[in-house]
Amino acid sequence: MASVVRLSLFGLATVIGSTLSGCSSLVDKHVEWETVEPESYPVLTAIGYAPIGNQHGETDSARSLMAMRASKLDAYRELAEQVYGQRIAGRETLANLVVDNTQLQASVEGVIRGAKVIKSYPVGEDTYATELELDMQRVYDIYLTTAKPQRIKQVKYY
């Protein structure tokens, strides 16, 4: 009776061993990758404005230069809103069922690469405007230099 049990245990070990070795052959594989490219690329535009009179500066030309820079930053903020969205946080308090205080905060955060200034110009007497363009084809090309997005092209099992 003991020899039958030994054979059963030996047979069980053989079956388990062959099963495990069969699984390990499925794990050996070669994967080919290919780059993924979108079908179309949108072009985003943004316009930023800044008042010239409110800028800090000793002269009119210094205030104009500061307004140019501020309008460019405002245009970049608008592009960031289009690309990343805007975070909205709100709070309202009631006292005796009457609205006591209402607060609303908005913020945007992101990195914009590849934007191009289309034109900067004065609008009227006291405002400066800057137009930006963000071609997503250019952004994609910049992205490819740092990270290669890929998908599985072919898998070969050995």
Q: Residue 3: pLDDT above 50? A: no
More confident residue, 52 or 11: 52
CA–CA separation, 66 and 52 (whole Å): 8
Delimit the domains of the chain by residue range. 2-30, 43-154
pLDDT for 27 equals: 65
Residues 97-154 have pLDDT tens digits of: 888 899 999 999 999 999 999 999 999 999 999 999 999 999 988 888 887 777 788 8
CA–CA separation, 120 and 58 (whole Å): 22
Long-range Cβ contact pairs of 89-93 (< 8 A, separation 24 or more): none
Q: Residue 5: pLDDT above 50? A: no
pLDDT band at 155 (very low <50, low <70, confident <90, very high): confident
Residues 68-105 have pLDDT tens digits of: 999 999 999 999 999 999 999 999 999 888 888 999 99
**Apex CA 67: angle with CA 66 and CA 71, to 5°?**
120
Q: How many CB atoms lie within 10 A of CB 48?
A: 21
